[in-house]
Every structure is written in structure tokens, then in C-alpha cells.
Structure 1
Amino acid sequence: MILSKDEILNLTRLPKNFDSNLIDLDYGFQSKIFPLVSQNIFDELKTEKLSIYQNLAKAGVLYAFVLDIPKIKVHISNYGINQFEQNKTAKAPWWDVRDLGLSWLKKADFFLATALKQLGTEANYKTTVDFFNKSFPLISFEEFDTYYGLNNSIDSYFTLVQLMNSIWEDFQRNFAPCSVDDFLADETLKQYIRGYIINRALSDAADYGSLVFLTTGIAYQYEELPWQKSVVLSVRALNSIRAKYRNEADYFLKRIFVYLQNNQVLFPCYAQRENNGAKIIKKKGGLFL
């Protein structure tokens, strides 16, 4: 096993008689931890950076619990998840199991995000850990989280990375033959581009099934954990979010065009593009190239 039974119980503070065979530890780590931090590095951290190792281990165990909730529910009369009524035990109702799962998930996300932030301060791991190589180069997890709450969810960030990569590719195609490296070398233009991508991604994410907009930010939707209706934004509020960030994206796109027009000496490729008749097209849904 990746962790011993004693490690599992100590990391999660579960009762000593809890049967750790209820969870598929390998699946938890293979699906949630090792795609971001390889098993070789995980094992190395046990001796080199124990604090980071323990945070990753806690996250892996807790994710395994969350992913195995259906299996745990089957055994619920024999193990661990009980509800006390008048000094007697009874099967916990599904909403209590869900709330316990959400609590586990919140802790797992916290420990994983904490470990990755710790790794980000280690120069030698910054180039070898897959998480950093898979991140969006212009907007890190922490930077996006500062702009709009991700609730420590790395899954939410990587779903947004997919959107941001598509937005970035479209942006580059639409500004051809200009080199976006020249754009990014200009700090003002770089910040406008980052603002455009973040806001456009948030607008597009409102229609993305795997993300849920909550009153506290964004969450990743697990089939095992239907979110409470009390914290999920209403259709009306979601439409308002979508429109707000689409307008913000349009604002930054306008700023990009104005900046390029006012600094054509710095960007001769754009000046040539202008002479060829490229224009902003304003439509009902926003600005288009």
C-alpha cells in the first residue's frame, strides 16, 4: 500500500477500529495526487520535506474517502459513519453522508493546495513537479484564486485552465501575424491580456457542467457529492455572473485594442494589420475579433 494502516488512521484521526480496506487508497492517489506530484517525488518528500509529504498524504487519503462514499454507504451499518439517537446508533441519512463527504473534500482540497504552495517555494521542485508544468503559464492557481475564489480546489483551477488555453489560442490566432511574445514583453499589455483571459474564462465557466458557482466562489462537481441548494447560485444570479464577467472581458479587450492603436510604433505588426482592415466587431453577446 502507498500508506500503512497506522499512517491512514493517524493522518485522518479516524477511530482505531475503522476498517481502512473500505477505501481504495490507490485510486485516490492515482487519480488526485500523482497526476500533479509523481509517486517518485511523493516518496522522496517523506525524507526531504516531511511537512509537504504529510499534507499530500492527508489529501490523498481524504480524496480516497470521498471517491468511495458509495462503497462506504453500503457498509454504513458496520463501520464508522453513524448517527446517534437516544443513545442508539442508526444508519446516517444520505444528506449527513453527503455533508461528511463535503467536509472531507474541503479538507482534502486544503491539504493539497497547501502542499502545492509549499512546493512552489522550492526552486528544485518548481521545474520537476507536474502541477507547475500543467498550470496556465500566464495565470497561476494562486493568482486566479485571488481574483475569484476557488475554495482551494485544484480541480476547479484545471477545468478553468482548459478554458483559458482555448481562449489564449483564439486570441493568438486572431492577432496573427503579430507575435504574442512581443505583447507579453510589454507589462501593461500583459496585464490587459491576463484580465481579458480571466474574465472571459469566468464567463464561459458559467456554462461548464463540471463547475458549480457557490455563494463563496467556484467548486468542482463530484457525482458522489451533490451540492446543497442553499449555497448554489440561482439561475438568475448565475446569469448575472456570466454577464458581469463577459462585460469585464469586453472592457479588457477594448483596452488591448486602444493600447495597440496608441503604440503602433512599438507594435509595427499591428499597424500593418490595421492597414489591412482588421476591425473590432461589436455584437449583442460581446466583442468579437
Structure 2
Amino acid sequence: MQKLTAEQYKKYVGLSKDFAFEKLESHEETAFRKNIFPYISEEIIDELKSSADDTKKQIADLILKAGACYSVVKALPFIKVKITSFGLEKYQQEKMKNADWWDVRDIGLSLVKTADEALSDALTEIAKNPSLKSRCDFFTKYSFALIPTPEEFNSVYNINKSMDVYMNLVSLMKRIWFALADQLKDCAAAELSTDEDLLFLLKDAIVYSSLGKALKLSQFTFITSGVVIQYEELPWQKSLILSDSQKNNLAEEFRATASDAIGGILKHLKNDPEKFPCYKPVTLENVRKIIEKKSGLYL
């Protein structure tokens, strides 16, 4: 199991030297087991830490930073109170006032964001190394190939590089791709990804279509700055949540953007048959010609 030192907590989180670091031990185990090890194994982390390669050391640093921040977030409720045989007691200080709940919330959300960004950036760097990527559980078990990392999704629509948000969106993205593939006939994702413009449109189509579906699901919370998921260790979490009317407007925007992207994809494939022989547009036979007149369209 990964064990972080007091010096590492000072470096990654900014905890003071007089902090009671033993309060983090059990939460550290939870943080790595739940938030890190499902995606990056302990074996790979140890390999990165002991490597002489600077890039690998930097990846290890990002992973440990994520683990440290997640650990403190999970420990926050226990830092505020202590459990005794007589119940729960609040820690008191003689010269300093205990932080208000909104201050605790804000530092917790800040730590979650820092952890998410660090973990996402580590995965982005791992993806650049074929050997590491082929052994990384995130890419072999969870990642969606066309939009393979939280950062990739974040480049289209803001999810704060959140692993939780990305993981909840993966199944939606796969469903969208299966439906879209039906329109693309025999064109495979790898074949379409060779064209930069087409890949841009594909990402737009998948991202905005999946977000349109996510709007109807309870696990996603849409706020003015993007998409989040309620963090279970922060039950007091409150954000600038969109109203129903704002969500309806956003749904229309998502649908329109996705529809435009899909139309652009089909047009792109149709206009370049030599490059994409995989695409066979449907042609309807024995259909009466449409006649255009000033008063309208007629068969």
C-alpha cells in the first residue's frame, strides 16, 4: 500500500508541519483504493517512483499529489470532530475560531479539483507512453477510445477533468457511438480518426449527444461552469446549479450542436468517397422527383 510522508503532504497539499498526520492514515488507504488503484496499479506507481526518467517521476508526482488531496478530503469530517465513548465531540482551539461550514466546503472542493486535475494529467502523460498505456488499467478496462481521457472530454466541454464525471459518461458515449456507427455504415472509428476535421466533428457529436442524455440522469449535476457529481465526502456541497428552464435551454443547445456535427460528418464522408470508401450513402430508388414552385414543394 502507498504510504505518504508528512513531507509529501506538506508538498502536495500544503499542510503545516504541526498537523497531526496520523489522522490521515486510514483515509489515505481509502483514497488510493477507491480513487487511484482502479485506474493505475500500485505496481506501476512504484515503477514510476523508482524510475530514473524525469517524465516518469513527474507522472508519479502527479499520482501521489492526487492521492494526498483525496486523502485529506476523505479525512475532513474526522478532522472537524472526534469520536469518543460518549459520542461526537468538536475540536476546539483556544486562540483560533473553528472554520465555518462554507470554508470547509470550499477547501474540500478545491482539494477535489486539484486531485482530479493531477490524476487526469497523469493519465494524459501515461497515454503518450505505449508501454505504460498497454499496462494501465484505465486504458485497458475503462477508457472510451475516441475520447480516451477526462482531459480529452474537458477540451470539448468542461468537466473539471473529473474522473468520476468521465467514468459516468463512458457508457453514454459508447451508446452514442453505437447509434452513430449505424449511420456511418462500415466506417470504423480508427478509419475516421485519421482525418483531423472528421475527428473534431466526431468528438463534438459524441460529447454533446452524451451530455444531452446526461441532463436527464440524477447522478449528474449541471452548474453554470460545467458538469459535476456530488462528492459523497462533502454532503454540504452547493454550487450554482442550473434551473429546469436553463437545463431545457441547454438540452436544446446540446441537441443542435450534436445534430450539426453529425450532419457535417455525413457531408464530409459523402464529399470524399475516395478517402472513405467505407461509407455507402443510402440511395432511394423509384422516388418521385420533388418539384420546387413558388408556393411550395410538390411531388
Q: Normalising by the residue count of structure 2, what TM-score does the alignment of the two structures yield?
A: 0.76
Number of the residue aligned with 1:9: 9
Q: In the alignment, what sits opposite 2:20?
A: 18
**Other structure's SS at 1:24 match:** helix
Q: Which residue of 2 aligns with 1:270?
A: 280
Once the 2 structures are TM-superposed, how far is the Cα of residue 118 of structure 1 from its aligned partner? 2.9
- 1:168 and 2:171 correspond: no
Please give the residue correspondences for 1:104-123 in structure 2 after superposition, counting only pairs within 5 Å. 104-123=111-130
Pairs within 5 Å for 1:35-74? 35-48=38-51, 49-74=56-81
Partner of 1:180: 188
Using a 3 Å threshold, how does the CA distance of structure 1 residues 275 and 102 change in structure 2: closer, same or farther? same
Q: Tell me by how many angstroms 1:164 deviates.
A: 0.4
The answer (yes or no) to whether the contact 2:146–2:203 under 8 Å persists in 1 is yes
When residues 216 and 159 of structure 1 are mapped into structure 2, their CA distance, relative to the original with a 3 A threshold, is same
CA distance in 1, matches of 2:127, 2:185: 35
| Pair 182,138 (structure 1): closer, same or farther in 2 beyond 3 Å | closer
SS at match of 1:92: coil
Equivalent position to 1:197, from 188, 206, 222: 206
Q: Once the 2 structures are TM-superposed, how far is the Cα of residue 4 of structure 1 from its aligned partner?
A: 4.2
Deviation at 1:260, TM superposition (A): 5.2
Residue number in structure 2 paired with 1:280: none
* 1:237 and 2:252 are equivalent in the alignment: no
Unaligned runs of 5+ in 1: 278-289
Of the two, which has the highest radius of gyration? 2
Match of 2:145 in 1: 137
Post-superposition shift, 1:257? 4.1
| TM-score under structure 1 length normalisation | 0.78
Residue 231 of structure 2 is matched in structure 1 by: 222
2:96 is paired with a residue whose SS is strand
Shift of 1:208: 2.9
Unaligned runs of 5+ in 2: 83-88, 287-299
AA aligned to 1:193 is: L
Give the Cα–Cα distance (whole angstroms) in 1 for the partners of residues 269 and 202 of structure 2. 12
Equivalent position SS for 2:217: coil
In 1, Cα distance between the equivalents of 2:271 and 2:7? 61
Matched residue of 2:135: which SS? coil
Q: 1:190 to 1:111 in 2, by over 3 A?
A: closer
Aligned-residue Cα RMSD (Å) equals: 3.1
Q: Percent identity?
A: 32
Q: Are the equivalent residues in 1 in contact too, given 2:50–2:57 (CA < 8 A)? A: yes
Instruction: Pick the aligned partner of 2:101 from 94, 108, 115.
Output: 94
Q: 1:168 to 1:24 in 2, by over 3 A?
A: same
Judge conservation of contact 1:183–1:189 (CA < 8 Å) in 2: no
- 1:151–1:216: 8 Å Cα contact kept in structure 2? no
Cα deviation, 1:201-230, whole Å, max 9, x if unaligned, reads: 12222223232223322223212324434x
Matched, 1:249 2:251: no
- Per the TM alignment, residue 29 of structure 1 is displaced from its structure 2 partner at its CA by 0.4
Cα pair 2:269 2:279 within 8 Å, conserved: no
- Partners of 2:187 and 2:278 within 8 A in 1: no
